[in-house]
Amino acid sequence: MRPHTCLLVSSLAACGGAESSAPPPAPESTSFVAFARDFEGFESWAAFPLGVGVPAIGEIEGPRTVYASRLPAPGEAALPIGTRLVKVIGDGPIETRQVFAMAKRGGDYNAFGARGWEWFELERDARGALTIDWRGISPPDGTSYGSNIRGGACNECHVEQGAASDAVLTPGVAPAAR
Ligand code: HEC
């Protein structure tokens, strides 16, 4: 007979794990909520310099670089929960650069947009200390990136252009399952 499987950490004590000295296996994560520390040091991740592009509405001018905490494996249709992607625009003093990010939160989060992804704008001070400016399924009203129609500018471009690549648009970072 198949042994009973415990799905919730809180139920482990109720199914024999309590007496064992071995630590229980880490449950597979089903959701990920990013904190500022999860983006710290992103400049040491895989980097994709994209050069200077035509700025979209709300973007500053300057070279763009995309950083990925993880890259898709060949044939992988979507990036896993916990993946973080960062896009930096500008090469002026560090605190003047625009820093956008997305983190794979998982489940039904942002179900009507880029499914599973949470959007962020990050900020750094002159010493590079990183904070989260805003987060969610769309930028707050009055934030300038794109237009705030159809429930969120981030979803708009990323869902439309990234329908087959898990809403990720940078070549090399975007999953390309066949
Ligand atoms: C006008 C279309 C457009 C809008 C609106 C937009 N993006 Fe993007 N985004 C892009 C494109 C195109 C790329 C690919 C890199 C490049 O060419 O700049 C990209 C790349 C990114 C990346 C790197 C991962 C990837 O998909 O390649 C992040 C992170 C990101 N955007 C965050 C955001 C956030 C956060 C918002 C909303 C505040 C947003 N984007 C709104 C077009 C857009």
Element (DSSP H or E) covering residue 155: helix 153-161
CB contact set of 5 (below 8 Å; sequence gap of 6+): none
- Ligand 1 atom showing the smallest separation from residue 121 Cα: 35
| Cβ(58) – ligand 1 distance below 6 Å | no
Smallest Cα–Cα separation from 50: which of 73, 67, 74, 72?
A: 67
Q: Would you give the end-to-end CA distance of the chain in angstroms?
A: 38
pLDDT band at 141 (very low <50, low <70, confident <90, very high): confident
pLDDT reported for residue 18: 47
Distance CA 63, CA 92 (A): 10
Given a cut of 70, is residue 143 above it in pLDDT?
A: no
pLDDT tens for each residue of 9-62: 444 444 444 455 667 666 667 899 999 999 999 999 999 999 998 887 778 899
| CB 87 less than 6 A from any atom of ligand 1 | yes
Q: Which residue has the higher pLDDT, 95 or 5?
A: 95
CA separation for the pair 63, 83 (Å, rounded): 23
126: pLDDT strictly greater than 70:
yes
Q: What is the pTM of this model?
A: 0.85
The pLDDT of residue 27 is: 64
Mean pLDDT of 63-78: 96
Report CA(158)–ligand 1 centroid distance (Å).
Answer: 7
Atom 20 of ligand 1, nearest CA residue: 169
Total residues belonging to the chain: 178
User: Is 24:115 a contact under the CB 8 Å cutoff?
Assistant: no
Nearest CA to 118 out of 160, 85, 151, 78 is that of: 85
- Comparing 21 with 1, the larger pLDDT belongs to 21
